[in-house]
A and B are shown apart, each in its own frame.
Chain A
Amino acid sequence: MTAISYPLAERTLANGLRVIVSEDHTVPNVAVNLWVGVGSRHESPGRTGLAHLFEHLMFQGSRNVASGEHFSALMDEGARLNATTWFDRTNYFETVPTGALELALWLEADRHGYLLDAVTQDNLDNQRDVVKEEKRQRYDNVPYGSALIDIYATAFPEDHPYHHPTIGSMEDLDAATLDDVHAFFRAHYGPNNTVLTLVGDVTPEEGFTAAETYFGGLPPIELQTRERHQQLPPLSEPVRLDRVGDVPNDRIYVSFRLPVDTTPDYLACQVAVDVLGGLASSRLVRRLVRTDETAVSVGGWTMGLVDGVGLGTITVDVSVGADVEQVEAAVCEEIRRFADEGPDDAELESVIADTERSWLSALASIEERADHISHHALLTGDPAYVNTFVDRIRAVTAERARDAAAAWLDPASRAVVRYLSDTSKDADQPDDTDRPDRPDDSTSSTDSPDSPDKDSEEAA
């Protein structure tokens, strides 16, 4: 057991900007990380995708910065940078050599304060095209690429902020105007809706002083906040969506509405999903992959969200020739058994050990550490969560995990999305034994600097 105790110092500027500094001098770098309290959950009908399209425009120049200069000026100083948009927030970040910290803050302050001086119709049109290619590349031109979109639409009600994905719709992207962009900036981008985290080779006083120098002059905005939605109850009956088409094998996603992030019940659900499908020794792996051999692989994950609901999903890649209905029934059976029995000691021990190692790995880099600190400062109000998360998982008892599963993972409340291969087409295909399958390591195109993570939209 490793004690986690990263130092945290916090100050709020007069204009409302929350600044958090976590000192770490092991490398002469500083991670600069801003979370703005706007994401796709704040979008209005007919304007989906706007938060993400807007994030792209943040790289196209501001009052004192030319289009593209944010990237080039920082990269010339050895920065690694990008931005991402997600349901609950928009995130801008760069890791810079210590000597470039002030330049990074100056550039960030210029666009976070004065973007609209530079936004043009040409930039909007160009980045709209880029975002459409991002959508085609990541969702439309990949097998199962739209699965998450289908899961959100199936598990969450139509009028719920998480019903539509962050990438938005092509039609809405087309409809976005310069006026929309201006209104969006004025409504959401301001120091009092932003958290700035600095992790690395900087003392708290240096960090606070620099933040004041560059961000202190930004005026606060008139923030229209609404209450977060009430917790959604589990679905009252199973819902399902089938997609039949050109996929290599049948895949089932069994999803559940969960409590909101960081609540004890959410964490208990996280433990339950890990025991069911999230680890190599999980129950569904043992049952479906090792024993029944009806699945090629099984996965389980939870998504922590803040606006009245979270999400938990079990994914199963079904073996060729196995019965999809039977596999789904087996998943439900194992979930019910878990809700009756709860986890045993070895299962809990595995979840805790796995969580500890993966959490420490995540915090090992200053950029990811900064991201988690910003996350919890902005969305749950507790940046020290980075130091307490593993203890919170450790505190989940067997009874608590069992009860949480009974309450939230009841198969009668499942949302099922299935991607099924079109067997009518396969019947006509000849057996082709010399199909090539996998690129040599050196030709993999998946490790480009812009390879996306699975659940948020990036600028580049």
Chain B
Amino acid sequence: MTAVARPVVAAPQPWAFPEGTTQDLPNGLRLLTYDVPGQYVVSVRLGLPVSLRDEPREREGVASIMARTLDEGTAEHTAEEFARLLERKGVSFGAGMGDAGLSVDLDVVKGNLEPALDLLRQILTEPAFPQAEVARQVRTRLAEIEQERSVAAHRAGLEFVRTFYAPDDRSSRPTGGTRETVSSITRDDVAAFHAEHVVAAGGTIVVAGDLEGLDVPALVEGALGGWDKGPRERERYLQHAAALAPDRGRIVLVSRPGSVQTEFVIGAPGPDRSVDGGWAPYPVLGFVLGGSPNARIDAVLREEKGYTYGIRSSFRPRRRGGVFLTSGSVRADSTAESLRLLVEILESGRNGFTDKEIRSGVDFIAKTAPGRYATADTIADEAVGMALDGRTTAFTTDNLRDLATVDRSRVEAAYARFADGAGIGAGGPGAGWTIVMVGDASAHLEAVEALGLGDVTVVTDA
């Protein structure tokens, strides 16, 4: 046959994040709506600026238990009745705590939005927190603690936050609390935390989907207009910057005898979205170093060496400060060699980037945006995430415009700013990084120490 010529690609049209509307309710709740034609499942997202730092130290995890017990019974219904009420309307519901605050997610077909919002009203304003349900969520969380401890990727993440953040900072400890703190959580603790923090002031609710024919402001006002504002005004986002551990620059090896792979988390302090020079270069950096099968890391560790199924890097911004994380697993007998290569590649940004690499990163991030934000849930997630970050989705659009101007010099400047801030390149190789590995310590310790990348601490779980 005759070969068909390789087609030329027409450049996409400029794109902007869908336009939303904003309304402030008298009780302090802000409503954002996004009409997305053709999206028949409506996504509702509520973000509340509730801080993990407001948990009593000896009751850490109470916010998460509270979030998980919100729909386990209300003033009018038992837990079982309420579960059935949600299900009969096809409502998918979830709530959870994170560093940025409390998130409540609800998805429902368009025609059931009104009853779903009434169920949300009951969840937020009339939760009963029955003793039996709180106790059950506590037991579930304790079982989850064991589950997570046994999964290498989770175990590595835990050790990472414990090593990276200052011991007296909440971020150094698990979001959902530890065995000790969770075990002591009572129904009254949960009810008290809810009463104080789950109030409308400073909250942002997003409704995204095919909204034609719906009066969303009236529906939301009708359901949540009576939600108590709370005793005081509240900012819509949290401001705390987590303190880092003074000795965060080291290697921790969590012992897993007989492990067939070694799990890595390698991190260093990174910027937030307000960084000098703009945020746009950082996702490009993450992409070039470890964002695809052709990125610098997988080009070597996967495609050349066959050590891994895939390792990924990304910058994770918080409202103030952030972290640059690289994670994945490698074949056990390649552990030390993989670590050497990973550090070498992560530090290779000091030697610059090629125009082609930067072009690839910019193009991928810019041109995937319309598809990444095509569905109601992704639009609502982005909008509530921005709200809890003290921004609007105008940032998403502006950042994409700025991204178009990102070139090699801006990315190299961004890398230098990141590396200088983290102390990377200040000492020898490995300086400035927090490196956590979960694997067979007895098999790898000597070889890892011989790399000379920093002090190695071995941690053994009981």
A253 → chain B, closest Cβ, in Å? 16
With beta carbons under 8 angstroms apart, the residue of A71, A79, A248 that contacts B149 is A248
Whether A445 and B261, one on each chain, are in contact in the complex, defined by CB atoms closer than 8 angstroms, is no
Given contacts A141-B261, A249-B146, contact A445 B327 (CB under 8 A): yes
Is A45 in the interface zone, CB < 8 Å from B?
A: no
Whether B367 and A77, one on each chain, are in contact in the complex, defined by CB atoms closer than 8 angstroms, is yes
A127–B304 alpha-carbon span in the complex (Å): 10
A21 → chain B, closest Cβ, in Å? 17
Whether A350 and B84, one on each chain, are in contact in the complex, defined by CB atoms closer than 8 angstroms, is yes
- Fill in one digit per residue for B310-335: 1 if any A CB lies within 8 Å of its CB, else 0: 10100010100011010111110000
Residues of B within 8 A of A389 (CB): none
Whether A126 and B371, one on each chain, are in contact in the complex, defined by CB atoms closer than 8 angstroms, is no
Whether A24 and B462, one on each chain, are in contact in the complex, defined by CB atoms closer than 8 angstroms, is no
A201–B12 alpha-carbon span in the complex (Å): 12
B116 → chain A, closest Cβ, in Å? 10
Is A354 in the interface zone, CB < 8 Å from B?
A: yes
Tier of interface size on chain B: 35 or more
Given contacts A106-B4, A353-B88, A440-B157, contact A361 B174 (CB under 8 A): no
Whether B145 and A437, one on each chain, are in contact in the complex, defined by CB atoms closer than 8 angstroms, is yes
Residues of B within 8 A of A126 (CB): 303-304, 306
- Fill in one digit per residue for B87-131: 1 if any A CB lies within 8 Å of its CB, else 0: 111111000001100000001111110000000000000000000
Is A213 in the interface zone, CB < 8 Å from B?
A: yes
Is B375 in the interface zone, CB < 8 Å from A?
A: yes
Most chain B C-beta atoms within 10 Å of own C-beta, residue among A24, A130, A360, A437: A437
Given contacts A98-B12, A248-B147, A350-B88, contact A449 B291 (CB under 8 A): yes
Is B28 in the interface zone, CB < 8 Å from A?
A: no
Is B276 in the interface zone, CB < 8 Å from A?
A: no
Is B381 in the interface zone, CB < 8 Å from A?
A: no
CB-based nearest A residue for B153: A445
Residues of B within 8 A of A353 (CB): 87-90, 112
Whether B261 and A75, one on each chain, are in contact in the complex, defined by CB atoms closer than 8 angstroms, is no
CB-based nearest B residue for A355: B90
A360 → chain B, closest Cβ, in Å? 5
Tier of interface size on chain A: 35 or more
Is A102 in the interface zone, CB < 8 Å from B?
A: yes
Residues of B within 8 A of A95 (CB): 371
Residues of B within 8 A of A142 (CB): 151-152
Is B450 in the interface zone, CB < 8 Å from A?
A: no
Is B176 in the interface zone, CB < 8 Å from A?
A: yes
Main secondary structure of the interface of B (DSSP, over half): mixed
B333 → chain A, closest Cβ, in Å? 11
Chain B residues 417 to 455 lying within 8 A of chain A, measured CB to CB, are none
With beta carbons under 8 angstroms apart, the residue of B41, B146, B310, B370 that contacts A357 is B41
Residues of A within 8 A of B107 (CB): 357, 361
CB-based nearest A residue for B162: A436
Whether B139 and A140, one on each chain, are in contact in the complex, defined by CB atoms closer than 8 angstroms, is no
A435 → chain B, closest Cβ, in Å? 6
Residues of A within 8 A of B144 (CB): 437-438
A374–B31 alpha-carbon span in the complex (Å): 39
A247–B117 alpha-carbon span in the complex (Å): 40
Residues of B within 8 A of A358 (CB): 92
Is B232 in the interface zone, CB < 8 Å from A?
A: no
Most chain B C-beta atoms within 10 Å of own C-beta, residue among A97, A136, A430, A434: A97
Chain A residues 361 to 393 lying within 8 A of chain B, measured CB to CB, are 361, 364-367
Beyond A130-B306, A296-B140, 9 extra complex contacts between A and B, CB < 8 Å: A64-B6, A138-B309, A217-B2, A249-B147, A279-B87, A436-B178, A441-B98, A444-B157, A445-B263
- Taking beta carbons and an 8 Å cutoff, which residues of B are in contact with A? 1-4, 6-7, 9-13, 15, 36-41, 79-80, 83-84, 86-92, 98-99, 107-112, 136, 139-140, 143-154, 156-162, 171, 173-180, 259-261, 263, 265, 267, 291-294, 299, 302-310, 312, 316, 318, 322-323, 325, 327-331, 359-360, 363-364, 366-372, 374-377, 461-462
- Taking beta carbons and an 8 Å cutoff, which residues of A are in contact with B? 1-2, 24, 26-29, 59, 63-64, 67-68, 71-72, 75-80, 95, 97-100, 102-103, 106, 109, 125-134, 136-138, 140-143, 213-214, 217, 219, 246-249, 279-281, 286, 289-290, 293, 296-297, 317, 319-320, 346, 349-350, 353-354, 356-358, 360-361, 364-367, 429-430, 432-446, 448-450, 460
- Chain A to chain B: the 8 pairs with minimum beta-carbon distance, closest first: A78-B367, A439-B157, A129-B306, A353-B90, A99-B10, A437-B145, A445-B327, A248-B146
